[in-house]
Structure 1
Amino acid sequence: MAAARSIFLDLIRSHSRKGTTNSPRFFSSSPSSTASKSEVVYDESPPTPVPDEESDGGAGAGDDLKSRIFRLRLPKRSATNVIQKWINEGHQITIHDLRRISTELRKSHRFKHALELSEWMVSHGEFELSDSDYASRIDLLTKVFGIDAAERYFESLPLNAKTTESYTALLHSYAASKLTSKAEELYERMKESNLPFTAITYNELMTLYMSVGEVEKVSSVVKELKSLNVSPDIYTFNLWISSCASSLNIDEVRNILDEMTAHETGPSERWTRYVQLVKIYLASGQLVNSEVNSVVESEKGITQREWITYDFLIILHSALGNKGTLDQIWKSLRMTNQKMIGRNYACILSAYLILGHFNEVEEVINQWNTSATTDFDVSVCDRLVLAFQEVGLNEKAEAFRVLLSEKKCDPQ
């Protein structure tokens, strides 16, 4: 079942490529709870809705600098002009104002305007830039002008500005572009610079290896992290566990969970819930229906960012051969108030294919067919068709092709 197993890896990879602090999360958190004030948050979440206001950049309701900039609905309009007009009217502006507005712009995917604020800070010598400002600019340059622009800016920085944060920002850009060689070379430069390392740097490398399918390198990154006495965070463990899950190495998952329990040095509800939930599901031999349902039911408030938890558990139980538990998880998933998307169906289909439960495969296809989802990953769907054919389910493969055609998603 090579095709079905490769789907598992694709599903995990797709959630690994979320950036440093948005690496695959089982329990989400705000940036402030996971990063220090000096750390850059690479926000690649869906854009924050912005009120549909007139884009005159002038006075009016909510007349402050942020409101004026956000009224620039088109990227080609200049945030720099708005700032200058604001100052010409006699208003004061601080670097804290610019950072705060830039953060909001990034959350709304207004990267070009956020970059203009960064340029303003750089061009006005009265502002003292922080390590985070340099890192933020590297990330914005990548998003607006591409990786080459980010590289040129980084190389032009004075030595004292080439800090762990600015290096990690460029590493993030390389990882996002799947430039493995450049990322590894940059990492070696970091080591030669004798800079202090944090878990974020290693999370970037692990995320990169997950995204390019070099899962076997993840454990070596963890080993190096430990050898340098860098403290892993929950996302380090999450990526490590995901790499083991992708290769269906459940014994190692158990070992990592035990290590997480021993590693915790202070109270952390998120950390504890993560370990407890996965351990409960792994202890499948001791589960009864009510126990499984109570765990899932207690998590009905999960957000879409946390939804990967349950796909991940499906992968784990596929490796354990726990068909009954898979049935219960899938039933509970469909009872929650979250919108089911294509990834969820692809995950459970792959699990049933691997375990040889073909009647359930047909049932899930029918459920997918009657669902309202329009979210499809063509690559994953191609692989599902191949997986059906690998086990001789040619009729189901054809039925799935029909489903995809009706959903306007035709495999190659």
Structure 2
Amino acid sequence: MAAARSIFAALIRNHSRTGTTSLPRFVSSSPSSIASKSEIVYDESPVSVPEEESDGGGGGDDLKSRIFRLRLPKRSATKAIEKWINEGNRITILDLRKISKELRRSQRFKHALELSEWMVSHEEFELSDSDHAIRIDLLTKVFGIDAAERYFESLPLNAKTTESYTALLHSYASSKLTSKAEDLYERMKESNLPLTAITYNELMTLYMSVGEVEKVSSVVEELKSRNVSPDIYTLNLWISSCASSLNIDEVRNILDEMSGHEAGPSESWARYVKLVKIYLASGQLVNSEVNSVVESEKGITQREWITYDFLIILHSALGNKETLDQIWKSLRMTNQKMISRNYACILSAYLMLGCFNEVEEVISQWNTSATTDFDVSVCDRIVKAFQEVGLIEKAEAFRVLLSEEKCDPR
């Protein structure tokens, strides 16, 4: 149990905030949150489309297709827009927003930023709070934190809203700039802005990513003291912090406190509580129960999927190899796409138990997956996490298996 706790904590410290490791970010998408209004900064799993293959959904001659056919980031989306207009075509801010959203999902951030710059430079376009937030996020991705800070500070006071503040907070958290994130949070409070769960979710994720999980509970207390309604992802993160120390009693206390709380769609909330109860009962869980529950929840999203990762971690700590096999088999039978985090979790669990045949099998499954690209950096973090807690032999055995599968960590 102690080894599992140490591995889990080490993986948190090595977490890179990419959304593909053992602990992804979780942010609100409930109807009351700013994320749901903008749908901009907090895409958990961007769709990676190779530039040389993407045409944005067709080979037509609309503006979107022209921009997606640029392929190389150094080619100018601005020139494509100007040519489109010079040919007598009209363009609206809604058109630009839709194209920008698809560019961001395809990780074409430089071209998306050019669209943002076009909107900023043309006064006939009235920018929304979401437009400013998008620009802050894109500036961070393309030019770095300093550029995002300068843009934020240049905004007029009425544009420094909860959304623009939260976008900058997200940038700080993504870069693990704890002091700057904390200072910005204090500014948000001093500005008397209406805070939502997403603000606290960002802070909680930041503390987890830098290994300061002990601060998560204080963030939750702050949220409560300011009468901010938590959402399902707040619960996710709160439980995540407890999972780092396998503190089952605290998870039970959280569940008791939150079980009567309605956050987001009641069906989704009830389902999540149900999954956490399974997590808590893992010591007595039998294979058939795991199968039936996983099979009955085929519609579960990746944001709720974290509970199964905890279930895997707990069963590895308890030494329940047969149950671990059954959980993994059941997860692979559902219609949910596996992501890097899922593979990292099961690989770590099998390594903990010394089940190297299973580790080799999972590596092969991941490496040949048609839907999830093998992520060498994730495996590198697993190796480092095992080395960090003194499990050198297992770390080296894992590295050998990766080499045999031609998947060596960098």
Shift of 1:398: 5.5
Name the residue aligned to 2:381: 379
Q: Is the alpha carbon distance of 1:389 and 1:125 closer, same or farther for their aligned partners in structure 2, counting shifts above 3 Å?
A: closer
Shift of 1:287: 3.8
Q: Is the alpha carbon distance of 1:17 and 1:226 closer, same or farther for their aligned partners in structure 2, counting shifts above 3 Å?
A: farther
Deviations 1:193-222 (A, max 9, x none): 111101111111111000000000001001
1:215-226 superposed matches below 5 A: 215-226=213-224
SS of the residue corresponding to residue 117 of structure 2 reads helix
Name the residue aligned to 1:200: 198
- Tell me, yes or no, if the aligned pair for 1:16 and 1:239 is still in contact at 8 Å: no
SS of the residue corresponding to residue 125 of structure 1 reads coil
TM-score (norm 2): 0.83
Deviations 1:60-109 (A, max 9, x none): 95221111111111111111111112112222211111111111111111
Name the residue aligned to 2:183: 185
Letter in 1 for 2:43: D
1:349 matched to 2:341: no
Name the residue aligned to 1:289: 287
1:240-255 superposed matches below 5 A: 240-255=238-253
Whole-Å separation in 1 of the counterparts to 2:188 and 2:205: 18
Letter in 1 for 2:140: T
Letter in 1 for 2:381: S
Deviations 1:167-210 (A, max 9, x none): 11111001000010111111111111111101111111111000
Structure with larger Rg: 1
Shift of 1:42: 2.5
1:328 matched to 2:323: yes
> Which stretch has the larger CA shift, 184-193 or 364-373?
364-373
Letter in 1 for 2:183: E
Name the residue aligned to 1:139: 137
- Alignment length (residue pairs): 391
Letter in 1 for 2:312: I
Shift of 1:261: 1.9
SS of the residue corresponding to residue 243 of structure 2 reads helix
1:7-406 superposed matches below 5 A: 7-11=7-11, 14=15, 18=19, 24=25, 35-38=35-38, 40-43=40-43, 45-49=45-49, 61-264=59-262, 267-284=265-282, 287-299=285-297, 307-317=305-315, 321=318, 323-324=319-320, 327-335=322-330, 336-337=332-333, 342-349=343-350, 352=353, 361-365=355-359, 367-368=361-362, 371=365, 373=367, 374-376=374-376, 377-384=379-386, 389=391, 394=393, 399-406=397-404
- Tell me, yes or no, if the aligned pair for 2:232 and 2:264 is still in contact at 8 Å: no
> Which stretch has the larger CA shift, 112-121 or 341-350?
341-350
Letter in 2 for 1:6: S
> Which stretch has the larger CA shift, 29-38 or 370-379?
29-38
Name the residue aligned to 1:355: none
Letter in 2 for 1:327: E
Letter in 2 for 1:348: A
- List alignment gaps of at least 5 residues for structure 2: 368-373
Whole-Å separation in 1 of the counterparts to 2:261 and 2:283: 26
Whole-Å separation in 2 of the counterparts to 1:402 and 1:135: 45
Shift of 1:304: 6.4
Letter in 2 for 1:382: K
Letter in 1 for 2:275: L
- List alignment gaps of at least 5 residues for structure 1: 353-357
Shift of 1:333: 0.7
Q: Is the alpha carbon distance of 1:71 and 1:155 closer, same or farther for their aligned partners in structure 2, counting shifts above 3 Å?
A: same
Shift of 1:368: 4.8
Letter in 2 for 1:380: I
Q: Is the alpha carbon distance of 1:23 and 1:160 closer, same or farther for their aligned partners in structure 2, counting shifts above 3 Å?
A: farther
Whole-Å separation in 2 of the counterparts to 1:148 and 1:186: 14
Name the residue aligned to 2:371: none
Whole-Å separation in 2 of the counterparts to 1:39 and 1:227: 28
SS of the residue corresponding to residue 37 of structure 1 reads helix
Q: Is the alpha carbon distance of 1:89 and 1:115 closer, same or farther for their aligned partners in structure 2, counting shifts above 3 Å?
A: same
Letter in 1 for 2:142: V
- Tell me, yes or no, if the aligned pair for 2:145 and 2:171 is still in contact at 8 Å: yes
Q: Is the alpha carbon distance of 1:365 and 1:329 closer, same or farther for their aligned partners in structure 2, counting shifts above 3 Å?
A: closer
Letter in 2 for 1:189: R
Shift of 1:372: 5.5
Shift of 1:275: 1.1
Shift of 1:141: 0.4
Whole-Å separation in 1 of the counterparts to 2:51 and 2:388: 45
Whole-Å separation in 2 of the counterparts to 1:155 and 1:143: 18
- Tell me, yes or no, if the aligned pair for 1:197 and 1:230 is still in contact at 8 Å: yes
Q: Is the alpha carbon distance of 1:301 and 1:264 closer, same or farther for their aligned partners in structure 2, counting shifts above 3 Å?
A: closer
Q: Is the alpha carbon distance of 1:389 and 1:74 closer, same or farther for their aligned partners in structure 2, counting shifts above 3 Å?
A: closer
- Tell me, yes or no, if the aligned pair for 2:10 and 2:389 is still in contact at 8 Å: no
